[in-house]
Amino acid sequence: MQEHLIHSNYDKTTVIEVTPESAKWQYLSFSVINLKAGETYVHDTTGNESALVPLVGSGTFAVGDQQFEISRKGVFEELPHILYAPPNTSVTITAVSDFEFAFGSAPAEGKYPLRLFSPDEMKCEVRGGGAAQRQVNHVLAYPLPAERLILFEVYVPGGTWSGWPPHCHDGHGDSAYLEETYYFRIQPDYGFGFHRNYRIDQDFDEVFTFKHTDLVLVTQGFHSTAAAPGSNVYFLNYLAGELLDDERGKPPYDDPAFGWMRNDWTGGQLTLPIVGDTE
């Protein structure tokens, strides 16, 4: 369904907005905000916890008498500082330079205080191998504390895959139920990639061609992402669902047809030439 592929609209301050009502799910909200220098935006968390992630530029996040100076050269340049805001918190964001940031929210009780997570707290790892090698940065994932929110930033070199083996977290197999957004940025910005959501127990299969600053919703099913050759892909994942606190570290469930590749990332790849004369 193309409603699960959302394009950015830079004619508005709110470039992208996803709510539980618009996504037809229960927990997760996601927005991207684009401010010009000097502009201000106020985010009220109400009954949710929120995590605010700078994408590019500089600004201040102010909560009461606390003020945090935030800047980021770009998502391909450096790790972020992330502001975690508990329920019933008002965050005033003021752009020092042109400033673009994302935030996601999910229902919470208020177990954890306001906190600024710094890059030195974030686990960074290279996963997979062969045509499925990518870097995954655990920017707000277990053991970093939150009630429901889970955040990753992932880097996929051109011509390779991420989310491999395809995996699910929709209650199928032994997976927990989590809703997820994929927000993409591509270098160069004319690049593109592909994302697939599918199920093996019922008729559900959707494939999207995404471009720079697009968003894909994962509402159900196994999923994976491919970067076209010459298109280096970054994506920001927000997840939220039934997993709480330390349970957020529970892994997803792999598609049994491809799970074996964790032990052989080449996957029996053909060696060329095979048949015929080549020069």
For residue 240, the Cα-to-chain-centroid distance in whole angstroms is: 11
Summary mean pLDDT of the chain: 97
**Does the pLDDT at position 275 exceed 90?**
no
- The mean pLDDT value for 5-20 works out to 98
Question: Which pLDDT score, from 0 to 100, does residue 2 have?
Answer: 81
Question: Which pLDDT score, from 0 to 100, does residue 259 have?
Answer: 97
Question: Which pLDDT score, from 0 to 100, does residue 278 have?
Answer: 67
Q: What is the Cα–Cα distance from 229 to 179, expressed in whole angstroms?
A: 29
Range 172-185 burial, b when 16+ CB lie within 10 A, else e: bbebbbbbbbbbbb
For residues 148 and 110, is the Cβ–Cβ distance under 8 A? no
Determine the length of the chain: 279
Q: What domains appear along the chain, each with residue ranges and CATH number?
A: 8-257 (2.60.120.10)
Q: What is the Cα–Cα distance from 128 to 151, expressed in whole angstroms?
A: 19
For residues 66 and 60, is the Cβ–Cβ distance under 8 A? no
Question: Which pLDDT score, from 0 to 100, does residue 232 have?
Answer: 98
Range 9-42 burial, b when 16+ CB lie within 10 A, else e: eeeeeebbebebeebebebbbbbbbbbeeeeebe
pLDDT digits (tens, 9 = 90+) for 159-206: 999 999 999 999 999 999 999 999 999 999 999 999 999 999 999 999
**Does the pLDDT at position 133 exceed 90?**
yes
Q: How far is CA 140 from CA 83, 94, 130, 150, 152, in A?
A: 10, 23, 27, 6, 7
pLDDT digits (tens, 9 = 90+) for 233-271: 999 999 999 999 999 999 999 999 999 999 999 998 999
**Does the pLDDT at position 131 exceed 60?**
yes
pLDDT digits (tens, 9 = 90+) for 67-115: 999 999 999 999 999 999 999 999 999 999 999 999 999 999 999 999 9
Beta strands in 129-251, from DSSP E residues, in sequence order:
134-140, 150-156, 161-168, 178-187, 192-198, 205-211, 215-218, 222-227, 232-241
Question: Which pLDDT score, from 0 to 100, does residue 51 have?
Answer: 99
Range 120-156 burial, b when 16+ CB lie within 10 A, else e: ebbeeeeebeeebbbbbbbbbbbebbbbbbbbbbbbb
Question: Which pLDDT score, from 0 to 100, does residue 215 have?
Answer: 98
Q: What is the Cα–Cα distance from 179 to 252, expressed in whole angstroms?
A: 12
Closest C-alpha to 238, from 25, 9, 88, 72: 25
Question: Which pLDDT score, from 0 to 100, does residue 14 have?
Answer: 98
Concatenated DSSP letters of 113-125:
--EEE-GGGSEEE
Question: Which pLDDT score, from 0 to 100, does residue 244 have?
Answer: 98
**For residue 276, what pLDDT band results from cuts at 50, 70 and 90?**
confident
- The mean pLDDT value for 27-49 works out to 98
Q: What is the Cα–Cα distance from 146 to 108, expressed in whole angstroms?
A: 9
**For residue 36, what pLDDT band results from cuts at 50, 70 and 90?**
very high
**For residue 145, what pLDDT band results from cuts at 50, 70 and 90?**
very high
- The mean pLDDT value for 193-222 works out to 98
Question: Which pLDDT score, from 0 to 100, does residue 16 have?
Answer: 98
Radius of gyration (C-alpha) of the chain in whole angstroms: 19
For residues 214 and 8, is the Cβ–Cβ distance under 8 A? yes
**Does the pLDDT at position 66 exceed 60?**
yes
For residues 45 and 85, is the Cβ–Cβ distance under 8 A? yes
Q: What is the Cα–Cα distance from 110 to 88, expressed in whole angstroms?
A: 8
Greater confidence, 277 or 224?
224
**For residue 1, what pLDDT band results from cuts at 50, 70 and 90?**
low
Question: Which pLDDT score, from 0 to 100, does residue 71 have?
Answer: 98
> 3-class DSSP state for residue 33?
strand
Name the burial class of residue 65, with classes exposed (0-12), middle (13-18) and buried (19+) by CB atoms within 10 angstroms of its CB: exposed
